[in-house]
Structure 1
């Protein structure tokens, strides 16, 4: 049976691409590996940040929606993103860096059984730095031009938190359909891993009753999980159908192929292939420096660029 190899990327909403760009490049030290547009609505930017090449498992992506309102927090939503750092010394480095840059953060604590530092981006997106203890996406590459020293750089995505009304429903989807291992559970929380013992495919599911989250700036749109290639994607498409979920069918996103579905709590998952990746239309040295468009949008470049505001570097 095919396995889910961890997280692929995670996608959020930002109101302002320039401010978002500043925070994730200058403050968090990530590389902007792709500046493109939402393929379903080319009037909005789609920005990707990650390691040197935007490896699967390191990618944070943002749709710019200038009219986005506030997020009204609630249940049935993806509610926090874990980012891996090398050591407990790194947490202290980041705490001091956040204080220098005025980033909203907590004290160093623990999260999902790991030393951790919770913080929020300028739009209220909830994140947490987690000590990796040597665990990271195996193909993660240091970004030499990062604002952050190599010994403290973010090494990709760790635990992703999802808050739901019906914990058993999402647990069944993760374990019975996708083959995740349930590694701990109580009445309020369960932890699942796509590869047992590895944090880069970990999902923390929390139970919360009440109204559903109303998304806005700083909210999380969907979580994408990794498969190797299109043959595996076709296999998972069939599994999704067999469980009665409505699927988007396989969509060619040029940089990877995907399918989307909502599980029983309404959480949107994407299943995405590892390749071909962001170097398909750009040299590694110059990734993210200019607006890249998939071939089917290239003929509309002038029209698309006219509607986008330049991003302040």
Structure 2
């Protein structure tokens, strides 16, 4: 069985798609690479932001839920998203930008052994910029030029993801024993693991916290997707997951990629997703994210769906 090659995407809840679109495109300078709907509930937007093509490892995705309340923070949840920037100078640039644009942020500090700048979006979603120290990024990551961020300071892609759980060993053992993550650091009630040793783009920090489980709402993280190369590998993982006694959805065709979903024994929702076919399956690169794209099985409902959705611009 091949090792996982890092994060694929991460998905959150937002109360307002228009405000969400503004924050991630105008403030963070990401490209909206796909404007589509939740395939299981097509009355709500599913928005994808990332690099030029929305390559695996760069994608932040949001389900718009207008009825979403506030998040009540707690344990048994994915609790922070790390985003990579090129250098220490980049962190200084973003600190100044956040000050000017009134984005909640910290002083420059450290996180998981890396120079870091904590911040939150307008709905309280917790994130952290991490200094990637000029290291190479995956070949498929391509910068998006349609923003006002200097090229040398743009967000590169996903880095460390934080998961907070009531029982540390349950999640750590799953990542180690099933998915062959390597433990690179341990301290009291915290373990850092990497899918590919030395590569932060597949890094997960698991923290132990007693108390009530998080109550999700706007700005909460719904699931983390792990990157799988092919459908054949995905099917093999499905078998392994079920052999452990965990429930799996089996392989689901999401049109832009193939997926499966399962929860670990702390209730953390993971997705596993293939690289392809990708977002250009129904759009030219230059047209990505401009119009509402629907998978073929929803196309006949386009008029109905478009009548429900509020314009983002």
TM-score (norm 1): 0.99
Distance in 2 between the 1:280 and 1:225 partners?
21
Distance in 2 between the 1:248 and 1:160 partners?
23
CA RMSD of aligned residues (A): 0.6
Distance 1:141 1:120, change over 3 A: same
Give, in angstroms, the shift of residue 138 of structure 1.
3.1
Distance in 2 between the 1:136 and 1:73 partners?
33
Give, in angstroms, the shift of residue 149 of structure 1.
1.4
Distance in 2 between the 1:299 and 1:182 partners?
48
Distance 1:38 1:202, change over 3 A: same
Distance in 1 between the 2:305 and 2:144 partners?
30
Give, in angstroms, the shift of residue 3 of structure 1.
1.1
Aligned counterpart, 1:84 = 84
Task: Flag structure 2 segments of 5+ consecutive residues without an equivalent.
Answer: none
Counterpart secondary structure, 2:55 = coil
Q: Is the CA contact (8 Å cut-off) linking 1:25 and 1:147 kept in structure 2?
A: no
Task: Spell out, residue by residue over 1:123-166, the C-alpha distance to the aligned partner (whole angstroms, 9 max, x if none).
Answer: 00000000112143332101111221111110000000000011
Task: Spell out, residue by residue over 1:172-200, the C-alpha distance to the aligned partner (whole angstroms, 9 max, x if none).
Answer: 10000001001111222000000000000
Distance in 2 between the 1:81 and 1:57 partners?
12
Aligned counterpart, 1:121 = 121
Distance in 1 between the 2:39 and 2:132 partners?
34
Aligned counterpart, 1:75 = 75
Give, in angstroms, the shift of residue 294 of structure 1.
0.3
Counterpart secondary structure, 2:137 = coil
Aligned counterpart, 1:270 = 271
Distance 1:78 1:150, change over 3 A: same
Aligned counterpart, 1:110 = 110
Aligned counterpart, 1:23 = 23
Give, in angstroms, the shift of residue 203 of structure 1.
0.2
Aligned counterpart, 1:132 = 132
Aligned counterpart, 1:209 = 210
Distance in 1 between the 2:132 and 2:176 partners?
24
Q: Is the CA contact (8 Å cut-off) linking 1:70 and 1:215 kept in structure 2?
A: yes
Matched, 1:258 2:254: no
Q: Is the CA contact (8 Å cut-off) linking 1:135 and 1:198 kept in structure 2?
A: no
Distance in 2 between the 1:135 and 1:69 partners?
40
Paired residues, what number?
312
TM-score (norm 2): 0.99
Distance in 1 between the 2:308 and 2:126 partners?
30
Moved more, 138-147 or 205-214: 138-147
Task: Flag structure 1 segments of 5+ consecutive residues without an equivalent.
Answer: none
